[in-house]
């Protein structure tokens, strides 16, 4: 197994600290709104990482936090409190907001066949542990008190920028006119461990502490939750690339200052899902959610298929044309695998050499820094080959599904048989010919005939896609 390590900026052999257990920490959602598709892309890739490790024979212990306490819009100590923002938007308490969107998040990941991490940790369940952690850092001389808040002094931690590679001298924190600079910081990159005073006079979530009534800074929760559930040293820490320069950098500083040990062996980051305006976020009006895709008639697993056909370290461009094409391809693949299952014959092992080669190829693609697109290519080769009988194909598909989790062999009433699939493709080709000959009445008749049979056509720049609508 080889994976890219953000810390070394290279692809490395994966060698866990303990050969019997891989410890993984994944940054979870801030539950003030629905997860957007960019968030969910990262959770899909993390799911593939965990399932791949298990597929290769490792035992995995994975922890995910749920940020249900004030988290500012920026990774730095600036912006608006997301939880408070959600509560104001919906006229609910922050506790109601947290519970509602936590439930919504788990509904989304279930639809995407994302395995729940072994340990789900709510940030608000660890308040006493944060206080103990801050006291430990204070005793070691890493903190200072200013304006009632406890700050971490980054100058006390050697090699603060080892993950990000940033040049602190060239950073201009607060350069934006709409960001208020914290004048109480000794250094611009210092960060708050505990707030007793902030610009939010009516902060809803507060707890007693040695420094006064207040609430924890955001970065602290991941460090403490990881230490409490996984110990002082872990193998992999996952998250989006946007967390590298501030959040994960601060996590390293405070955690290694507290323990005196090297904390994370492999830092594993996923790239953005982008639209035509750049990085996808929740600040663009009607942001893209899984529910929105479903309302438009798309299968959530078509989105999973779309994501798996990209590499986690490359930006992925989203459009409705691209998701329609992905669903079209996914439906065809599912119909073909269902046909193979329904017509399974032969004995597994008749073609053992070929069978083993496909299985090894699949493992090698996943072991190559989780190249899921190439792993799916192996799946297609299995489906198309004449060198295996159908029983052997079903066995391999079942094996691959331990990682891909696309429900390719799941029995559903809406599955299409091979003859009907061929009919659809034949009619689409006939319609394309009619349009080329400018016989638009025939083209319309073919569209109407398919629609009567529950197949809706969609013309895109990439070609014709179809969708089953009943």
Q: Per-residue pLDDT for the chain (470 aa), expressed as one digit of tens each? A: 999 999 999 999 999 999 989 999 999 998 988 999 999 999 999 999 999 999 999 999 999 999 987 654 444 555 456 656 666 666 667 778 888 999 999 999 999 999 999 999 999 999 999 999 999 999 999 999 999 999 999 999 999 999 999 887 765 543 434 446 788 999 999 999 999 987 665 667 889 999 999 999 989 999 999 999 999 999 999 999 999 999 999 999 999 999 999 999 999 999 999 987 666 665 555 579 999 999 888 999 999 999 999 999 999 999 999 999 999 999 999 989 999 998 999 899 889 999 999 999 999 999 999 999 999 999 999 999 999 999 999 999 999 999 999 999 987 655 566 778 888 888 999 999 999 999 999 999 999 988 888 888 878 766 788 877 75
Domains and CATH numbers, the chain: 2-270 (3.40.50.620), 278-404 (1.20.120), 418-468 (no CATH)
**Kind plus residue range of the DSSP H or E element containing 307:** helix 300-308
DSSP state of 168: G
Q: How far apart are the first and last CA of the chain?
A: 43
pLDDT of residue 73: 43
pLDDT of residue 74: 46
Q: Which backbone phi and psi does 151 adopt, to 5 degrees?
A: -110, 150
**Angle, alpha carbons 457-463-468 (nearest 5°):** 25
Give the contacts of 177 (CB within 8 A, at least 6 positions apart): none
| Residue ranges in 167-284 assigned as alpha helix (H) | 219-230, 249-259
Can you tell me which residue has the tokens 């072994």?
Answer: 118
The answer to whether 91 and 54 are in contact (CB under 8 A) is: no
What distance in Å separates the CA atoms of residue 48 and residue 53, rounded to the nearest whole number? Answer: 8
pLDDT of residue 455: 87
What distance in Å separates the CA atoms of residue 75 and residue 248, rounded to the nearest whole number? Answer: 10
The answer to whether 40 and 290 are in contact (CB under 8 A) is: yes
Alpha-carbon radius of gyration of the chain: 25
Q: For 16, how many CA atoms within 13 A lie in the half-sphere containing its CB?
A: 19
**Kind plus residue range of the DSSP H or E element containing 451:** helix 440-452
Helix (H, G, I), strand (E, B) or coil at 303: helix
Buried b (16+ CB within 10 A) or exposed e, 186-223: eeebbbbbbbbebeeeebbbeeebebeebbbbbbbbbb
What distance in Å separates the CA atoms of residue 36 and residue 23, rounded to the nearest whole number? Answer: 27
Helix (H, G, I), strand (E, B) or coil at 177: coil
Token pair of 374 as six digits:
């190439």
Q: Which of 312, 302, 248, 267 is nearest to 38 (CA)?
A: 312
Q: Which of 344, 312, 309 is nearest to 330 (CA)?
A: 309
pLDDT of residue 228: 98
């Amino acid at each position: 197994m080889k994976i890219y390590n953000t810390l070394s900026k290279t692809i490395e052999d994966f060698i866990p600290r303990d050969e019997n257990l891989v410890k993984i920490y994944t940054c979870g959602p801030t539950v003030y709104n629905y997860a957007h598709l960019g968030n969910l892309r990262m959770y899909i890739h993390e799911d593939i990482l965990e399932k791949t490790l298990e597929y290769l024979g490792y035992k995995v212990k994975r922890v995910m936090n749920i940020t249900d306490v004030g988290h500012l819009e920026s990774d730095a100590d600036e912006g608006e409190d997301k939880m408070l923002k959600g509560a104001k938007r919906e006229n609910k308490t922050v506790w109601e907001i947290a519970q509602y969107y936590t439930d919504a998040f788990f509904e989304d990941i279930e639809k995407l066949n994302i395995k729940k991490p072994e340990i789900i940790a709510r940030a608000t369940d660890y308040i006493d542990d944060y206080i103990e952690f801050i006291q430990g850092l204070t005793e070691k001389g890493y903190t200072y008190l200013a304006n009632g808040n406890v700050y971490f002094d980054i100058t006390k931690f050697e090699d603060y920028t080892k993950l990000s590679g940033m040049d602190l001298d060239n950073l201009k924190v607060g350069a934006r006119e709409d960001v208020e600079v914290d004048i109480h910081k000794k250094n611009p990159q210092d960060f708050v461990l505990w707030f007793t005073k902030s610009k939010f006079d009516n902060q809803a979530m507060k707890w007693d502490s040695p420094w006064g009534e207040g609430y924890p800074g955001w970065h602290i929760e991941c460090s403490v939750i990881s230490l409490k559930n996984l110990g002082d040293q872990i193998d992999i820490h996952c998250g989006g690339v946007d967390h590298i320069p501030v959040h994960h950098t601060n996590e390293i500083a405070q955690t290694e200052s507290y323990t005196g040990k090297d904390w994370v062996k492999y830092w594993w980051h996923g790239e953005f899902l982008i639209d035509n305006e750049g990085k996808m976020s929740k600040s663009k009006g009607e942001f893209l959610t899984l529910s929105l895709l479903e309302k438009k008639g798309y299968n959530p697993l078509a989105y999973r298929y779309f994501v798996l056909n990209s590499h986690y370290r490359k930006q992925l461009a989203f459009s409705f044309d691209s998701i329609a094409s992905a669903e079209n391809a996914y439906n065809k693949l599912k119909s073909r695998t269902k046909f193979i299952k329904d017509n399974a014959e032969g004995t597994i092992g008749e073609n053992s050499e070929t069978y083993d080669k496909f299985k090894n190829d699949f493992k090698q693609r996943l072991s190559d820094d989780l190249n899921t697109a190439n792993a799916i290519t192996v799946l297609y080769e299995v489906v198309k080959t004449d060198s295996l009988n159908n029983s052997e194909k079903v066995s391999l598909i079942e094996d691959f599904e331990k990682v891909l989790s696309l429900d390719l062999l799941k029995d559903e009433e809406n599955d299409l048989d091979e003859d009907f699939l061929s009919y659809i493709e034949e009619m689409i080709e006939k319609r394309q010919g009619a349009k080329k000959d400018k016989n638009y009445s025939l083209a319309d008749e073919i569209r109407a005939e398919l629609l009567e049979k529950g197949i809706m056509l969609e013309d895109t720049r990439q070609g014709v896609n179809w969708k089953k609508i009943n």
